[in-house]
Amino acid sequence: MKLVEPDREVEASAGDCLVEFVDAGVQVHAPSGYTLLDAARMAGVAMPHVCLGNCACLSCCVEVVFGRGFLSAMDQPERDRLNTAPGLPTHARLACQALVRPGRVVVRRLRDPIREW
């Protein structure tokens, strides 16, 4: 399977993670170590990132529907940022911080609970 990035085609490999953006109906193979935000950009899925991926906002917040074990562990800055917004789903992550591992992850984009996009 070939994936299209903005500037080049990339062959999927055994070390990739299949990331599905369920609300957009899009799947993409993202190399291990890419963020969910990187995967969204590869797939052409609109994903706001007001802070440019620096864990300083909630605009790229997603709900992990399946495959939490195929994402990096949440670090304290991400946890602190998510704790600023009441009412987020239990399995919310910041797409700019969650790194994919080989496997399959299904996510749903969430609206920024502080500032609508």
Q: What is the pLDDT of residue 8?
A: 40
Does 105 map to a domain? yes
Buried b (16+ CB within 10 A) or exposed e, 56-84: ebbbbbbbbeebeebbeeeeeebeebbee
Does 115 map to a domain? no
Residue-number span of the structural domain to which 72 is assigned: 2-109
Structure tokens at 54: 């620096």
Q: Return per-residue pLDDT of the chain as tens, 117 residues.
A: 334 444 444 455 778 999 999 999 999 999 999 999 999 999 999 998 899 999 999 999 999 999 999 999 999 999 999 999 888 999 999 999 999 999 999 999 997 545 544
CATH number at residue 75: 3.10.20.30
Provide the domain count of the chain. 1
Residues 60-75: tens digit of each pLDDT: 999 999 999 999 999 9
Does 25 map to a domain? yes
Does 86 map to a domain? yes
What are 27's strand-pairing partners?
Answer: 20
